[in-house]
Chain A
Amino acid sequence: MMKYIRRIFRALVLKTPIKRLLGWSVAYSIWPVHMVTSCCGVEFAAMADPLFDSERTGLLPFTSPRQTDAIILEGSLSRKMARAVRLVYEQMQEPKYVISMGACSMDGGVFYNSYNLIRAREVLPVDFYVPGCPPRPEGVIRSIVLLQKKIKEGKGLE
């Protein structure tokens, strides 16, 4: 019985204009978790200040992982921190997105070949990479705008 209800619901919602309404409501209020992984966190904090206002895109860092949508990884992931990030990611509810900031989470950045660093894509499925060391706050806001465009088209909502 539940299987049929679920199938009808999926056919109604995901193939009609209700999907666009759902996409619109998720895209304009992406709330990331309060988790700062490394030194690019300084530019993440500067993104919220009055000059580069990130709240106009709907972003508000929130405390509990059960009620948030996104996780923004700043900078290098060490082995201890990767375990903590994986634990927080598994506690979040669907739909969830990952943005990875900085050159250090791509391949190591300035600390290439270090014995304690892990690449971000081995731990989480990443949606967007932002280059720079550290990236300017306008760059991170641009990646949020691109993520909003991706959500409004309906990808990632299943």
Chain B
Amino acid sequence: MSSKEKTITIFYGPQHPASGHMRIILEVDGDVVIKADPDIGYVHRGIEKLAEHKTYFQVIPMVERQCLPDAAHHNLAYVLALEELLGIEAPERAQYLRTLLAEINRIASHLYGMGLHGVSIGSSTAYMWCFGLREYMLILAEKLTGARITYSYIIPGGVRRDIPQGFSQDVERYLRLFERKMRDLDKLFISNPVTKARLEGVGVLPKEEAIKLGVVGPVLRASGVEYDVRRVRPYAAYPWIDFEIAVKKEGDSYARLLVRVKEIEESIKIIRQVLKDLPDGSILHERYMKLLPPRLKEYVTNTGLVKFPGVFATMKVPKGEGIGSVEAGRGELIYHLISNGESKPYRLKISTPSFRNLILFSHLIKDVKVADVPAIYLSLDYFPPEADR
């Protein structure tokens, strides 16, 4: 007698209130999930192929639109790879300003993930509060760079704009308001007994499995491995700033949430240190400043807005390869750029943190109930356009 087929296949598809732009194919027996298989590629736009047909400078806005909540880190990693090929290093004031934008963006990215996680568990108050706090950070970024989300602030040789007058006092005022509201958010959502009951003990990832599967970011640090690219291979202004790394040992969804909250507090400390220790100097490298005519050079030093030299449009880069590695909001990001001596890249390979965490879908979503699937999947902070490129 052959056994009857008991399992049902469910498409947890792109049209779903808690799914995002991807599909998970679940095999369900009653209320228990037996197997989960991710089906991605709904946002694949072909960035790696398109980068071979654009000049080096035109790739910068295209690469930023992979992960919109976290655009400054993609910008920074590409420019670090390009500067390694050109053989230059940005001046010190520019390194500090790059760190400032990167940390503001890290806070905004973590709040985005926490807001979506809250609304899928059932707390739409958490969604409204987290997104409202995120708007404070976007207002600060708009004062610094001129745009809300897609900045294009970091260029090869330095940054594009200096800080405006009165910026430090504005930042201090906003940060004090932000810290007061974070304490209220803590009582409302993070230490709430309903949240703890839903998230503790769900989707546990032990330390040996995390090492074997090669995961990155807060998921790795919540399982006990103390690996952060800002400490291990420092870049920008991180060698001169001190901060702590957030590590937890349990490895469940609640630990991942707490790691993100601790990282937000550390980022606030870093922003205060950067604004206190900001050195003087120019914001663009000498090699490009001396190509400007003297009237424009005076304009740049007086107002702090950079005018691009004409060589950026047809820059020919020497032959070789460059690697830029950065700790983005979701994990470790690696850009591998290979050049052939012409004015367009020969090959650009991007290894994003969301793509490296993809293996956890088929590994963690096993023998759990169907109602636990959003609690696990949104605690990994998976962003589909970043994984699909």
Question: Are A and B close enough to touch in the complex, i.e. CB under 8 Å?
Answer: yes
Contact, CB under 8 Å: B45 / A34 = no
Given A63, A114, A116, A134, which contacts B150 in the complex, CB threshold below 8 Å? A134
> CA separation between A51 and B138, bound complex, in Å?
12
Contact, CB under 8 Å: B148 / A80 = no
Contact, CB under 8 Å: A78 / B17 = no
**Nearest neighbor of A112 in chain B, beta-carbon distance:** B50
Contact, CB under 8 Å: B149 / A43 = yes
> With an 8 A cutoff between CB atoms, is B61 at the interface?
yes
**Nearest neighbor of A35 in chain B, beta-carbon distance:** B15
Contact, CB under 8 Å: A42 / B68 = yes
**Nearest neighbor of B11 in chain A, beta-carbon distance:** A84
> With an 8 A cutoff between CB atoms, is B164 at the interface?
no
A77 to chain B, nearest CB (A): 10
Contact, CB under 8 Å: A115 / B149 = no
B139 to chain A, nearest CB (A): 9
Contact (A88, B68) CB under 8 Å given A111-B46, A115-B46: no
| Partner-contacting stretch, out of B36-44, B79-87, B225-233, B368-376 | B36-44
Contact, CB under 8 Å: B385 / A38 = yes
Contact, CB under 8 Å: A34 / B50 = no
> Across the interface, which residues of B come within 8 angstroms of A61, CB to CB?
17
> With an 8 A cutoff between CB atoms, is A2 at the interface?
no
Contact, CB under 8 Å: B131 / A50 = yes
**Contacting residues of chain B (26-54) with chain A, CB-CB under 8 angstroms:** 41-47, 49-50, 53
> With an 8 A cutoff between CB atoms, is A20 at the interface?
no
1/0 contact string of B301-320 vs chain A (CB within 8 Å) = 00000000000000000000
Contact, CB under 8 Å: A51 / B132 = yes
> With an 8 A cutoff between CB atoms, is A41 at the interface?
yes
> With an 8 A cutoff between CB atoms, is B20 at the interface?
yes
> Across the interface, which residues of A come within 8 angstroms of B20, CB to CB?
36
> Across the interface, which residues of B come within 8 angstroms of A46, CB to CB?
131, 134-135
A58 to chain B, nearest CB (A): 17
Name which of A39, A61, A63, A113 has the most chain B CB atoms within 10 A of its CB: A39
A98 to chain B, nearest CB (A): 15
> With an 8 A cutoff between CB atoms, is B128 at the interface?
yes
Given B15, B21, B116, B135, which contacts A51 in the complex, CB threshold below 8 Å? B135
**Contacting residues of chain A (112-144) with chain B, CB-CB under 8 angstroms:** 113-117, 133-134, 136
Contact, CB under 8 Å: B135 / A136 = no
A66 to chain B, nearest CB (A): 12
Given A43, A45, A48, A114, which contacts B45 in the complex, CB threshold below 8 Å? A114
> With an 8 A cutoff between CB atoms, is A23 at the interface?
no
> CA separation between A64 and B68, bound complex, in Å?
27
**Nearest neighbor of A45 in chain B, beta-carbon distance:** B131
> With an 8 A cutoff between CB atoms, is B14 at the interface?
yes
> With an 8 A cutoff between CB atoms, is B65 at the interface?
yes
Contact, CB under 8 Å: A34 / B112 = no
> CA separation between A42 and B135, bound complex, in Å?
12
B16 to chain A, nearest CB (A): 7
> With an 8 A cutoff between CB atoms, is B194 at the interface?
no
> With an 8 A cutoff between CB atoms, is B13 at the interface?
yes
Contact, CB under 8 Å: B385 / A81 = no
Contact (A110, B62) CB under 8 Å given A84-B42, A115-B49, A133-B150: yes
> Across the interface, which residues of A come within 8 angstroms of B132, CB to CB?
49-51
Contact, CB under 8 Å: A39 / B46 = no
Contact, CB under 8 Å: A49 / B128 = yes
> With an 8 A cutoff between CB atoms, is A29 at the interface?
no
> With an 8 A cutoff between CB atoms, is B331 at the interface?
no
> With an 8 A cutoff between CB atoms, is B69 at the interface?
yes
> CA separation between A50 and B115, bound complex, in Å?
13
> With an 8 A cutoff between CB atoms, is A33 at the interface?
yes
> CA separation between A81 and B13, bound complex, in Å?
11
Given A35, A65, A76, which contacts B43 in the complex, CB threshold below 8 Å? A76
Contact (A39, B16) CB under 8 Å given A50-B132, A116-B46: no
> Across the interface, which residues of A come within 8 angstroms of B127, CB to CB?
49
Contact, CB under 8 Å: B62 / A41 = no
Given A39, A76, A84, which contacts B13 in the complex, CB threshold below 8 Å? A84
1/0 contact string of B122-135 vs chain A (CB within 8 Å) = 00000110011011
Contact (A111, B15) CB under 8 Å given A49-B131, A116-B44: no
> CA separation between A118 and B50, bound complex, in Å?
16
**Nearest neighbor of B135 in chain A, beta-carbon distance:** A51
> Across the interface, which residues of A come within 8 angstroms of B15, CB to CB?
33-35, 65, 84, 88
> CA separation between A43 and B44, bound complex, in Å?
19
**Contacting residues of chain A (60-102) with chain B, CB-CB under 8 angstroms:** 61, 63, 65, 76, 78, 80-81, 84, 88
A-B contact pairs, 16 of them (CB 8 A): A36-B20, A37-B21, A39-B66, A45-B112, A45-B115, A48-B131, A49-B131, A49-B132, A50-B135, A65-B15, A80-B41, A80-B42, A114-B46, A115-B49, A133-B65, A134-B149
Ranked nearest first, the 6 interchain pairs of A and B with the lowest CB-CB distance are: A49-B131, A50-B132, A42-B68, A114-B46, A81-B42, A34-B17
